[in-house]
Each structure stands twice: as structure tokens, then as C-alpha cells.
Amino acid sequence: MDGNDSASLSARRKRTRDQVLAILAQHSSGLTRAGLSRMTGLSASAISDCVASLRSSGLVAESAAGTGGATGRGRRATVISLVNDEGVVVGIDFGHAHVTAAVATTTGELLERRADVLDVDHRPGPVMDVAAELARSCVERSGHTMDDVLGIAAGIPGPLDIRTQVVRPPTILSDWVGLAPAAELARRLGHPVTIGNDADMGARGEQAYGAARGLEDFLYIKASHGIGAGIVIGGRPYRGATGIAGEIGHTQIPDAVNWCRCGSRGCLETVVSITTVRRQLAHVLATHQTALDESAIPPLFELSDNPAAARVLTEAGRTVGRVLADLVNCLNPAALVLGGELGSAGEPFAAGIRESVARYAQPASAQAAEVITGQLGAEAEVRGAVAAAVAATRQRLTAVS
Ligand SMILES: [Zn+2]
């Protein structure tokens, strides 16, 4: 076997192992080998090899099946399930205006969660301190110590170069440029930290625990202060050559002229963001006697039944959908999963996106792409960071030869 064959065999084993671990994570009562084979589409011998390797790493356990578990050949079937390690994992989500930390078991069950509202974009040093403090206090409140932490992952709302782990210019998140968030957090928490883009983390959260379970090809759209896409192709995140794929908020919109924080004019997120939509809602929801302060606007999902608000949200959806239609043509996803504060607004926003995708994408691609609101809402990114921490922990514990 030459080097290439051995590399591709190793990659195939890793893919099989990830698939099996992901499916077992969704079936806490365990599955038989036949069940695993059916759900992954992999051969019985591939499943058997994989289970043997996971058992020797201590990641899965085998126990006798309940009633009806006998096989046709008289042997009792056994059930494979994930071993719930004693330790915990930590997920951290940085938004533009908040930090959230969560502690979970190694099967992804959430134990504690804490959040703080603050200006993330302009003060990276203090923000790292707050994130580390939230993570430590979550671990403590869950009844554990930092010694019990097996893995930590964090999502940041900006362009991270996956080759160097450093935030890149140009000027999105400009005060973070040159910062290495993984190293900064690792220094404060005393553990290695896996880092990624927030939209990729949101995609991962919905894929592991939410609306995208079982989907291989989909886009997760985080529409909030900015607009970004987490792209999943063949079950895996697609990050591009340097890790900054999915910056759809900086697509040019015809006739838009306002300057964007990236240094261009007329970007999508200068036209649609939670800030512009709140401003528009404050205008349409004000009565002729009372001006409405933007801060008094209720959560957007409570406004679906208000016809004027629904119009604003649908129009915002149409604008985002025009950009997404081109991506639907390129990538032929099975779903567009909507997240972030604006993406979680519900049916009016989703309806606008659906309308533009139907109008501007090729009919066959548009038909294949279901537009759905995510199930995890504001939790998607931190749950995705938990899923990334679980995966990093399992990878570290499993040696694939
Ligand atoms: Zn821009």
C-alpha cells in the first residue's frame, strides 16, 4: 500500500468513526450493529471494525439487548452505546454584543449556561476575561472543577484564518485583527481551545441537536447584527481555503450605497440586520401619539401576527433570500436553516426568503431547498461550540491508525 492509499484508508476510517459517534450521540439508549449499519449505510464489516476500535479506546460500551434482541442465528444481539465520561466539555459563543458559556456532558447534555451582554467588537482583551470567567463559573455551578474539563470550543463573529488561528483583516472585527482567540482563551482557562466562526458553530449546533439533524447538505444562516452562512457539504463544514467562507453579509445589493464596516459600500448587512430591522419596526409600530423607542420592541418572534411588523420582516427576508438564491444555485442544499435574532423571527422572515429563492433560483434547486427556522434559536451557536468540544475530545481520545 503506498502513502496515498494509507492516507485515504485512514480518512475513511475517521469518517466512519465520526458518523458512528454522531449517530450514537443521538440515541442515548444505544443501537445494535445492524441498526448502526442501517442508519449509516455502511457495511456490517465496516461497522464491526469501527465498533472494535471505539471499544478499545473506551469510547463506547456494549451490553445485552432487551427483549427481542436475539438474532436469527440464535445469538443475542448487543447494544452499542456511548460511554458518558466523568468529565465535561465547555462551549463559548461570542456574538457582537454578548458572550455565552455552557457546560455539558460528553454526550452533549447541557448542565449550565451563563451569558453576559457587552461590547464584544471593540474590547477583545476584557471580553476574553469575561468569557473565561463565565466558563469557570459554569463549570463550578455544574459541580465540577477545571480539572474535569475534557475539551473547550468557542465561536467568534469574524474572519478567522484556519491556517494561523488568527483573526484576519480587513476591518470586520477590526479591534480583533492579529488576535489569536484560541491561545488567549487557552492561557486563561489552562486547557487547549478549538476555535471557529460563529455561523459554522450555529450550523454545527442545529446539525447535532436541532433542525438540521440528519441533513448532509445545508446552509445555516445567522442573521443578527451581521449576516453569515455556515456551509455544510457532505455532512462536513465547508470553510474554504483559509477558513472565511460564508461571509454572505458582504454581498453587494443593487442600488444600496451605505458604507459597510468591511470598507465596501452597499453590502447586504447595511440593508438588512437586526439593527436596521429594529429601526424600521420602531417606525411602523409607533402610533401617531407615541414614538416607540427601539429598545422597547419585543422579541421579533412575538410580532408575527402584527401585519405591519410582518411586512417589514418579510421584506427583510426577500432581500436576504435574493442573495441566498445564488448560493442555492451553486450548492443545491437540502435546506436553509435560519438562526440568529433576525433568523429566529419566524414565519414572516422565512416566507420572504422562500419567495426570493423560488423566484431567483433555478426551479429544481429552489424546490429541493426547504427554508426552515432553526430549533435552537439563540442557543444554536453555543450548542454548536459544545458539539465541537465533544468532537475534539473524542478525536483526542481516539487514535486512528
Ligand atoms: Zn461589507
Grid cell of 318 as nine digits: 426577500
CA 246 to ligand 1 centroid distance, Å: 13
CA 259 to ligand 1 centroid distance, Å: 8
What per-residue confidence (pLDDT) applies to 286?
A: 78
pLDDT tier at 258 (50, 70, 90 boundaries)? very high
Q: Go through 35-70 and write b for each residue having 16 or more CB atoms within 10 A of its CB, e for each that does not.
A: bbbebbebeeebbeebbebbeeeebbeeeebeeeee
CA 245 to ligand 1 centroid distance, Å: 14
| Partners of 116 in the β-ladder | 99
Task: Answer whether the bond into residue 170 is a cis peptide, omega within 30°.
Answer: yes
What per-residue confidence (pLDDT) applies to 253?
A: 94
pTM: 0.80
Residue 257 has pLDDT above 50, yes or no: yes
pLDDT tier at 398 (50, 70, 90 boundaries)? low
CA 265 to ligand 1 centroid distance, Å: 7
CA 195 to ligand 1 centroid distance, Å: 23
What per-residue confidence (pLDDT) applies to 363?
A: 97
CA 169 to ligand 1 centroid distance, Å: 12
**What's the CA angle centered on 216, arms 150 and 367, to 5 degrees?**
145
What per-residue confidence (pLDDT) applies to 399?
A: 46
CA 269 to ligand 1 centroid distance, Å: 7
CA 80 to ligand 1 centroid distance, Å: 48
What per-residue confidence (pLDDT) applies to 168?
A: 73
Spatial separation of the C-alpha atoms in residues 60 and 30, rounded to whole Å: 10
* Domains of the chain in sequence order: 3-82 (1.10.10.10), 88-204+380-397 (3.30.420.40), 212-374 (3.30.420.40)
Spatial separation of the C-alpha atoms in residues 271 and 261, rounded to whole Å: 12
Grid cell of 196 as nine digits: 471557529
What per-residue confidence (pLDDT) applies to 192?
A: 92
Mean pLDDT of the chain: 87
* pLDDT digit string, tens, across residues 160-194: 887 887 887 655 677 888 888 999 999 999 999 99
CA 311 to ligand 1 centroid distance, Å: 25
pLDDT tier at 380 (50, 70, 90 boundaries)? very high
CA 262 to ligand 1 centroid distance, Å: 4
Spatial separation of the C-alpha atoms in residues 62 and 72, rounded to whole Å: 19
Residue 72 has pLDDT above 60, yes or no: no
CA 112 to ligand 1 centroid distance, Å: 36
What per-residue confidence (pLDDT) applies to 76?
A: 63
Averaged pLDDT, 52-57:
85
CA 172 to ligand 1 centroid distance, Å: 8
Name the residue among 274, 273, 227 with its Cα closest to residue 250.
227
Which letter does DSSP use for residue 234 in this model?
T
pLDDT tier at 351 (50, 70, 90 boundaries)? very high
CA 205 to ligand 1 centroid distance, Å: 26
pLDDT tier at 68 (50, 70, 90 boundaries)? very low
CA 206 to ligand 1 centroid distance, Å: 26
Distances (CA, A) of 228 to 98, 180, 255, 261: 17, 21, 21, 14
CA 202 to ligand 1 centroid distance, Å: 21
Averaged pLDDT, 20-26:
78
CA 352 to ligand 1 centroid distance, Å: 22
Query: Rounded to 5 degrees, what are φ and ψ at 105?
Result: -75, 170
CA 40 to ligand 1 centroid distance, Å: 40
CA 263 to ligand 1 centroid distance, Å: 6
Averaged pLDDT, 76-81:
80
Count of CB atoms within 10 A of residue 252's CB?
A: 14
CA 301 to ligand 1 centroid distance, Å: 27
What per-residue confidence (pLDDT) applies to 38?
A: 87
pLDDT tier at 69 (50, 70, 90 boundaries)? very low
CA 272 to ligand 1 centroid distance, Å: 12
DSSP string across 123-137: -HHHHHHHHHHHHHH
What per-residue confidence (pLDDT) applies to 287?
A: 64
Residue 22 has pLDDT above 80, yes or no: no
CA 362 to ligand 1 centroid distance, Å: 27
CA 360 vs. chain centroid, Å, equals 27
What per-residue confidence (pLDDT) applies to 193?
A: 94
CA 171 to ligand 1 centroid distance, Å: 9
CA 264 to ligand 1 centroid distance, Å: 5
Spatial separation of the C-alpha atoms in residues 345 and 292, rounded to whole Å: 19
CA 99 vs. chain centroid, Å, equals 15
Dihedral sign (CA 299, 304, 305, 309): positive
CA 261 to ligand 1 centroid distance, Å: 6
What per-residue confidence (pLDDT) applies to 303?
A: 86
CA 257 to ligand 1 centroid distance, Å: 11
What per-residue confidence (pLDDT) applies to 123?
A: 80
Task: Answer whether the bond into residue 299 is a cis peptide, omega within 30°.
Answer: no
Farthest CA pair distance, the chain: 80
CA 339 to ligand 1 centroid distance, Å: 20
Burial class (CB in 10 A: 0-12, 13-18, 19+), 290: exposed
CA 323 to ligand 1 centroid distance, Å: 14
